[in-house]
């Protein structure tokens, strides 16, 4: 197909929101994985399916959303500007790391998503998609 020769309207999608039953207490803003059909906090062994949109106790229904989010940067193996566009990894439900090696006994750390840069508070902006 040929390149554009005029402007076009390209739709932007902000990310989907899904509802799942919480298998543990999950706090708003946490990276959330789905394991055995229930939502749990993301860990180095469990890749996120999205970010919690509210705080929910075990057994409640939780909305998680895909998109671009700011997370704490690991102090041991920090994400840096040289990681732009690369995969970053889950350290815990609110922290990402540049290191894909073992942190908590997993064979490799789960991929959190693609690193997009830093916000004004030095949080790592990560695109989470399923």
d(CA 39, CA 22): 5
Assess whether 47 and 81 both reside in one domain.
Answer: no
Range of the domain at 113: 68-128
In a domain, 10, yes or no: no
Let me know whether 57 and 73 are in one domain: no
- Token couple for 73: 């940067």
One domain for residues 78 and 48 = no
Q: Are residues 45 and 77 in the same domain?
A: no
Query: Is residue 9 situated within a structural domain?
Result: no
Structural domain contains residue 1: no
Question: What percent of the chain is modeled with pLDDT above 70?
Answer: 92
Distances (CA, A) of 115 to 8, 42, 82: 28, 17, 10
pTM across the whole model: 0.83
Residues whose CB falls within 8 Å of the CB of residue 70, separated by 6 or more in sequence, listed in order: 119, 121, 123, 124, 125, 126
Is residue 45 domain-shared with residue 79, that is, in the same domain?
no
Give counts: helices (H), strands (E), the chain.
0, 10
* Residue 12 domain flag: no
Q: Which residues contact 48 (CB under 8 A, 6 or more apart)?
A: 31, 32, 33, 42, 90, 110, 112, 113, 128
112 within some domain: yes
Are residue 72 and residue 109 in the same domain, yes or no?
yes
Is 4 contained in some domain?
A: no
pLDDT digits over 33-86, tens only? 999 889 999 998 999 999 999 999 999 999 999 999 999 999 989 999 999 999
């Amino acid at each position: 197909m040929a390149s554009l020769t005029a402007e076009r309207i390209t739709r932007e999608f902000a990310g989907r929101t899904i509802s799942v039953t919480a298998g543990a207490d999950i706090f708003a803003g946490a990276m959330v994985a789905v394991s055995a059909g229930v939502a749990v906090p993301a860990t180095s062994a469990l890749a996120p399916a999205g970010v919690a949109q509210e705080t929910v106790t075990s057994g409640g229904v939780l909305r998680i959303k895909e998109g671009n989010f700011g997370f704490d940067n690991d102090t041991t193996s920090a994400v840096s500007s040289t990681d732009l566009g690369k995969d970053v990894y889950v350290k815990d439900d609110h922290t990402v790391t540049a290191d894909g090696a073992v942190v908590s006994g997993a064979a490799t750390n789960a991929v959190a998503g693609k690193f997009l840069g830093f916000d004004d508070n030095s949080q790592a902006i990560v695109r989470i998609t399923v």
